[in-house]
Amino acid sequence: MTIDQIIDSMQRDQNFMQNVAHWHTIEEKSALYADFPSNLSSVIVKSLQNHGIRQLYTHQATAIETVLKQKNCVVVTPTASGKTLCYNAPVLHDILSQPENRALYLFPTKALSQDQVHELHRLIDSIKPDINFDIKSYTFDGDTPPAARKAIRSSGHIVVTNPDMLHSGILPHHTLWVKLFENLKYIVIDEIHHYRGIFGSHFANVIRRLKRICQFYNSKPVFICCSATIANPVELAQNLIGEEVALVDNNGAPQGKKHFILYNPPVVNRELGIRRSYIKESQSVASLFLRHQVQTIIFARSRLRVEILLTYLKSLMRKLKKDPDLIRGYRGGYLPLQRREIEKNVRNGKIKGIVSTNALELGIDIGQLGACIMAGYAGTLASTWQQVGRAGRRSETSVAVLVASSSPLDQFLMNHPDYFFQSSPESGIIDPNNLVLLLSHVKCAAFELPFETNELFGSDFKNEKGVDSTSDILAFLEENRVLHKSGNTWHWMAETYPAETVSLRNASEENVVIIDTTQPREKVIGEIDLFSAPLFVYDDAIYIHSSQQYHVDKLDWERRKAYVHKVNVDYYTDAQLKTTIKVLDIHQESSVNENRYGYGEVAVTNLATMYKKIKFNSHENIGWGKIHLPELETHTTSFWYSFPADSHQRLRIEQQELGDGLKALANVLMNVVPLYVMGDPGDIYTQAMIKAPMWQLPTVFIWERYPGGVGFSKKLFHIYRDVAEAGVTLIQNCSCKSGCPSCVGPVLEVGENGKVIARKILNLMLA
C-alpha cells in the first residue's frame, strides 16, 4: 500500500478515528524562486546549473546576497529547505576570489558534521574542472587520525568541526592553527536552535573565546547562522555571537502534503483517568506503516523508552516473519561507529524503522522517510516540528502522528490543538554569564591567551562592554594559584589543562563506562553521564542497549565503571529518586496579596533510593529492590512561590489537604512550564513543601537541572501568571473527578481533593 492508501484506510477505521483528537492537513506548497545574485561567482553558478539548479529559492538568494555584503545573518526556514547552499555558495565564492581565505563550519554533533561535509565535497568536486587550485575541506573531530591533523591545520580551506572539538582541540592549540585564524573569513553555525539551555550557554562562551583569538590574529569573520523555526532566532543568534545579525526567513522551498495527527490513546479507567499505554499505542500506530514497507521513524522521550519500543517492534517483525534487524534503535550511549552504520543503512533503505531519542531531530540526511511517529510530546513546539520534518523531506505526501501520554502536558495539547498549530514556537534561552560557566571559560581563555588588566571577557570587535566580573574572576583564580599576575598581565600557571575538565553538554564533567562481561574478553558497549548513572546502571538494574537486556552486576562508583552481562528477562527496571532543596541566596523577590515569589540560588540533593521491576507489555509492578549509592548535590537556580502560613484556614481545609493540593499544583506546573520556556521537561523539576525551611511557609519550588541554571527561573519570575492561568485551564478541561495523570496526578498521590485544592491555590496566585 502507498502512503495515500494507508491514510485512506486510517480515515475509514472507526476504531482509529475515535482516538484522533485532531487531524491537521498541511497542503503542498510550490517553490518560490529568485535569480542568482549577479556578483556570485560564475563558476559556482555554472556548477549549480549543471546539477539542474536553474534558480535559487528566495531565501537562498537573500542569504547569499547578505553574506556577500559581509553581514552576519541567521537563516530561519524548515527542515530540508536547502539551507546548506546559503553558506556553501558564499564561502566557496570568497575562496575562489582569494585562495588564502578560510572558513570554520560548526555543527552541534559529529554525525551532522560528517553528513554535511559530503554535500560540500560534491559541490567542490563539481567546480574542480573550472579552477586551477584545490579547495580542501576536512572534518576535524575526535575520529580524525593524528596523521591527517597537521595537513588540516596547514592547508584546510574549510574546517568542519563541532563545539566540543573547537573548545578542547582547536582553541587551546591555536598556535598550531595560525593559518586558519589569520585568514578566517566565515564562521558557519548550523542548527542554532539546538544551542539553548546549558549547551547554548557553554557555546556562547566558546564563541567569546574564539572571537578573542581571532582578534589576536587580526581577523574579523562574518557569522552565518542557520536555524529551524523558533520565536527568537535573531535574539538567540545575537546572544550566541555577541554581534548584530540580519534575519533571512523568506522561505521559498517547496513542501509536500503532510498529514499531522494528534492521537489520544483510549481511556481504560475513567475514574482514575488512566489511558492505554502510549508506548503500546505508538507501537500499534507504527505497525500500520511498517507492515507496508513505509520507512518510518519513531521518536521516544528517553533512552529507556527507545529500548522498550525497539523491543516491541522487533518482536512484531518476528511475528510478521520479517528480519528484526529491519528495525534499529538510535540514541546517546551507542558508540560512534554503531551510530554511523545505522545512519548509513537508514539512508540507503536497508533499515525500514528507526526508533530514536531526539538525537535524530537534527538535519542529518537519513533519506526519504514516509512516516514519523512521536511517542509523547517532544517537550517544545520547535523540537516537535523538527521531528515532524524528518518525514516527507522531499515533495511526496507524508504522515506525522503524535501519540499522547497521560501527562498533563500531553493532555493539554490534545485538548488545545489550536495552541499547537497556531502558536509560534518557543524562545531559545541561554545565560552565558552563569557564574559556574564563566569561571570555567575564563580559565580556558586564560590558558589560550594571557588577560590584560583592563580586559573584559566577552567584549567584541566593537570594543563593547564585556563581563563586568572579569577582574573579580581573575583575582579569584590568582588566589587559587591558577593564574599569576605579572605587571598588567595575568598568566596561566597551573599544571592542568582546563578545557579537558569542562563538558559543554552535561551537568557532570564525568561519565560512567558500561562494560559487557558476557564473553571472556570484556567489551565497552556504551556510556552514561554521572548524574544519570544512579537511575540506569545501579546494582541489579536491567540496562537495555539496542533492545538487548543486560543485568548490572556491579556499579563501581569510584572508578566510574558499570559491569553488565547479557540476560533475557521479561521485565525492565525503573529507579525512584528522593530530592531535598535548600535556598542559598535570593536574587530577586516580590510579593502580591501576602504571597511571596522570587528566584535565586539553591542546593539540590538527589538520592536514588529504590527501583521497581516492570513487566514488559502489561507494565505491571512485579518486584522492587534498594539502591545503595551516595547522594549527588547540585547548586542551581530556582523559582519559588510561597503562600501565607494560614492558607489552609483561608481555603477552609485541613493542613494535610493543603499539602496534597501543593503536591498536585507542583505536578501541574512541572508539565505546564515547558510550554513557556524552551526547555525539555527533564530540564525542570518541582517540589512542594508545606513549610519551606528558610521562611516556614507553604511553598512550591521550580528549579533547573543544571548547575548554576540557564535562565528559566528568571523568566518564570516575570511570567508566572501566564503559567498559572495555563494550569487552571488544564485542570478545568480534564474530565476526571478527583485527579489523574493527565492533570494533577493520580488520586493515590494527591488525595481525593487534590484536584479541587490545586485549583483553589492557583486562584490564590491569580487573585
What average pLDDT does this structure show over 339-349?
A: 84
Dihedral class, residue 50 (left if φ above 0, else alpha if ψ from -120 to 50, else beta)? alpha
> Over 60: is that where the pLDDT of 506 sits?
no
Measure the CA–CA gap between 531 and 511, rounded to whole angstroms.
8
For residue 464, the model assigns a pLDDT of 56
Give the residue, 444 or 694, on which the prediction is more confident: 444
Q: Minimal CA–CA distance to 698: which of 760, 646, 629? A: 646
Name which of 148-157, 212-221, 446-455 the model is least confident about: 148-157
What average pLDDT does this structure show over 132-149?
A: 84
For residue 527, the model assigns a pLDDT of 84
The whole model's pTM is what?
0.74
Tally of CB atoms within 10 A around 153: 18
Give the residue, 757 or 459, on which the prediction is more confident: 757
Q: What is the mean pLDDT of the chain?
A: 87
* pLDDT-derived band at 289, boundaries 50, 70, 90: very high
Measure the CA–CA gap between 503 and 512, rounded to whole angstroms.
14
Give the residue, 445 or 545, on which the prediction is more confident: 445
| Amino acid identity at 587 | H
For residue 366, the model assigns a pLDDT of 67
What average pLDDT does this structure show over 576-603?
A: 90
Domain limits, the chain = 3-27+255-422, 33-248, 435-460+467-501, 511-569, 579-766
For residue 189, the model assigns a pLDDT of 96
Fold of 3-27+255-422: Rossmann fold (3.40.50)
What average pLDDT does this structure show over 318-341?
A: 85
Who contacts 521 (Cβ-Cβ below 8 Å, separation ≥6)?
A: none
> Over 50: is that where the pLDDT of 462 sits?
no
> Over 50: is that where the pLDDT of 753 sits?
yes
Class of domain 33-248: alpha beta
The C-alpha cell at 396 is 511526496
| Amino acid identity at 695 | W
Residue 273 phi/psi, 5° resolution?
A: 65, 30
- Beta strands in 257-347, from DSSP E residues, in sequence order: 258-263, 267-269, 274-275, 296-300, 327-330
For residue 634, the model assigns a pLDDT of 82
> Over 50: is that where the pLDDT of 463 sits?
no
Q: Is the Cβ–Cβ distance between 313 and 286 less than 8 Å?
A: yes
Q: Minimal CA–CA distance to 377: which of 399, 406, 343, 340? A: 406
In three-state secondary structure terms, 719 is: helix
Give the residue, 208 or 710, on which the prediction is more confident: 208
| Amino acid identity at 669 | L
- pLDDT tens digits for range 730-750: 888 877 777 776 678 777 778
What average pLDDT does this structure show over 624-653?
A: 90
Burial zone of 465 (CB within 10 Å; 0-12 exposed, 13-18 middle, 19+ buried): exposed
Domains 3-27+255-422 and 33-248 share a fold: yes
**H helix intervals, 221-291:** 233-241, 278-290
- pLDDT tens digits for range 172-228: 999 999 999 999 999 999 989 888 877 888 999 999 999 999 999 999 999 999 987
The full DSSP string for 479-500 is HTTSEEEETTEEEE--SS-GGG
Percent of the chain with pLDDT over 90: 48
What average pLDDT does this structure show over 504-526?
A: 81
* pLDDT-derived band at 390, boundaries 50, 70, 90: confident
Half-sphere exposure of 328 (CA within 13 A, CB side): 21
